[in-house]
Amino acid sequence: MLTLDQARDHAQEIVARAMRAGADAGDAVFAADAALDVSVRLGKLEDVGRSESAELGLRVFVGARSASVSTSDLSSAALDALVERAVAMAREAPEDRWAGLAPEIRLMRGAAPLLDIDDGGQVSPEQLRDAALAAEDEARAVAGVTNSEGGGASASRMIWALATSHGFASAYAATGYGLSASVIGGEGAGMQRDYAHHSTRLLRHLDAPEDIGRRAGERAVARLNPGRVASGAMPVVFDPRVGGSLVGHLVGAIGGQAITRRTSFLLEALGTQVFASGITIRDDPHRPHGLRSRPFDGEGLPVSPTALVEDGVLETWLLDSASARQLGLEPTGHAARGIGGGPGVSTSNVYLAAGAMPVATLFGDIADGVYVTELIGQGVNGVTGDYSRGAAGFRIEGGQITGPAAEFTIAGNLRDMYRQMIAANDLEFRYGVNVPTLRIDGMTVASG
C-alpha cells in the first residue's frame, strides 16, 4: 500500500492536471485499502478472503458547472483521459449556483490532530482464524446452544487523501478490526439466534474472543420460548445495541440536504426543544481510537466536537458547503466524500450522553412494558417522523425483565418519542453511534 505522502501526491497531481486541462477549480480523493477476512463454522475454517483496492475520484468545475469521474486505473495515460473527460462533461453540465469548493479561508491549516486510529494493521490469517474459532467455540459451549451460524474475524487498513485546487492537501490512515459470533439455541420451530460482535480501530482494544462468544451464546439462549406481549400504550426500553438507531434518525433529519429539500420532520426545529430536558447529543471527530474519528472533513475543513442537542435543544444543522450556501449559513465541518460524486454530510463519533439514572431505576417503576433488543424493518418516515418497527426482546413486568418476547411492533412519532426519552447512566463507546439504555413512555405496542 502507498504511503500517506504518496496518496496525497496522487490527489494533488490529478487536480493539477485538471487545472492545466481547463478546469476553473477542482478537488480529488484518493482511497486505498487492504482487508483480510476469515470465517469459520462448527469448528472448521470456511473462508479466507483478501482484497486490495486503490481508486481516485476527481471533481472539476467550469464556471458554475461541474462533473465527477473516478477510476481504479492509475496509469498516466488513463489519468490524462480521465481529466479530459471530466472537463468535457463539466462544460456540458447544467449550472448549479450552490456547488463549489469549500471557502478557502475555512480550510484546515497546519498539522492534523493525532487521533491514534492506525496501528499498522499487521495481523496474519492464522491469528484471525484462531480468534474466530475461539469465539465460536465459547458460544457453542453455552448450555442450550444447538447450532452455529459461524464466527468471523477481520482486519483492514485504509488510506484516504484529499486535495483541492485552492490549497488543501492532506491524508490519513486508519485500521479496523472486527470479531463476531452468531449461534442458534433450541430445536425445531423453537430455535432462536443471536450474536455478539466488536469492532475497534486498534487490535489491542478488541474484546477477547471468549467474551464475544459467551455473550453470543447467552443471548441466543435467553431468547428461547418467547411469549406474546400485551397490546397498548406502554413504556419501551431500548438496549444500547439498537437505541443508536433513534439518534440515526435525528442525524438524517438535520442533514443539509434534508433541510434544503424541505424533507425533514425537524424542518423548523432549530433552536427549539426537540428532546426531553437533560438529553445531550454530541459529535466528537477527535475521539482517540474512535471508529469514525477523522482529522478533517470531506472538503478539507477542520472538524471539532459539536453539540447537536444540548439539554434537549437542537443546536445545529449538519452542513457541507453547498447546503450552507443555499441556507445562507456556514459549513459545519460535516462534509463526507466518496470516490464518486460531490460531498454529502456525515457525522463522526456521535453519542447521547449518559443520564444520572441507574438502569435498574429506569426499569423500576414499569408495571408493564417491553425491552427491545432487536429491531426489524425500516418503517420510519423522515418527512413526518412517523415510526413503526418490528421488534423482539423481553417483557418488563413489575420493574423486572421477565420472559423473552417476539413478533411485536412498536410505533409512535419521533417528535413525541424524543420528548419522552429518558437516558440511563450506562453509556459505553462500542459503536459508531453510542447511547446508554433509553426509555420512551407511551409508545404503541402491538402483538404480532
134-165 pLDDT, tens digit each: 999 999 999 999 999 999 999 999 999 999 99
How large is the average pLDDT for residues 350-374? 97
* pLDDT surpassing 90 at residue 343: yes
Q: What is the pLDDT of residues 316-337, one digit of tens each?
A: 999 999 999 999 999 999 999 9
Of the pLDDT bands very low, low, confident and very high (cuts 50, 70, 90), residue 413 is very high
How large is the average pLDDT for residues 8-24? 96
pLDDT at 190: 87
Q: What is the pLDDT of residues 66-76, one digit of tens each?
A: 999 999 999 99
Burial 35-49 (b: 16+ CB within 10 A, else e): bbbbbbbeeeeeeee
Report the alpha-carbon distance of residue 319 to residue 355 in Å, rounded: 28
* pLDDT surpassing 90 at residue 366: yes
pLDDT at 55: 95
* Mean pLDDT for all residues in the chain: 96
Q: What is the pLDDT of residues 236-258, one digit of tens each?
A: 999 999 999 999 999 999 999 99
Paired with 306 in beta bridges are: 283
Report the alpha-carbon distance of residue 69 to residue 56 in Å, rounded: 9
Contact in structure between 115 and 304 (CB atoms under 8 Å) = no
* pLDDT surpassing 90 at residue 342: no
Contact in structure between 306 and 280 (CB atoms under 8 Å) = no
User: How many Cβ atoms from other residues are within 10 Å of residue 201's Cβ?
Assistant: 22
* pLDDT surpassing 80 at residue 448: no
pLDDT at 340: 87
Q: What is the pLDDT of residues 51-68, one digit of tens each?
A: 999 999 999 999 999 999
pLDDT at 298: 96
How large is the average pLDDT for residues 90-104? 95
Q: What is the DSSP string of 285-321?
A: TT-TT-TT--SB-TTS-B---EEEEETTEE---B--H
Contact in structure between 435 and 423 (CB atoms under 8 Å) = yes
pLDDT at 312: 98
The three-state secondary structure class of 64 is coil
How large is the average pLDDT for residues 403-421? 96
pLDDT at 425: 98
Report the alpha-carbon distance of residue 315 to residue 31 in Å, rounded: 33
Report the alpha-carbon distance of residue 328 to residue 131 in Å, rounded: 52
What is the set of domains in the chain, with CATH numbers? 4-221 (3.30.2290.10), 226-448 (no CATH)
pLDDT at 112: 84
pTM recorded for the entire structure: 0.94
Q: Which residues contact 139 (CB under 8 A, 6 or more apart)?
A: 145, 148, 151, 181, 182, 183, 196, 212, 213, 214, 216, 217, 220
Burial 298-325 (b: 16+ CB within 10 A, else e): bbbbbbeebebbeebbbbbbbbbbbbbb
pLDDT at 2: 86
pLDDT at 264: 98
Percent of the chain with pLDDT over 70: 100
* pLDDT surpassing 80 at residue 35: yes
Contact in structure between 405 and 226 (CB atoms under 8 Å) = yes
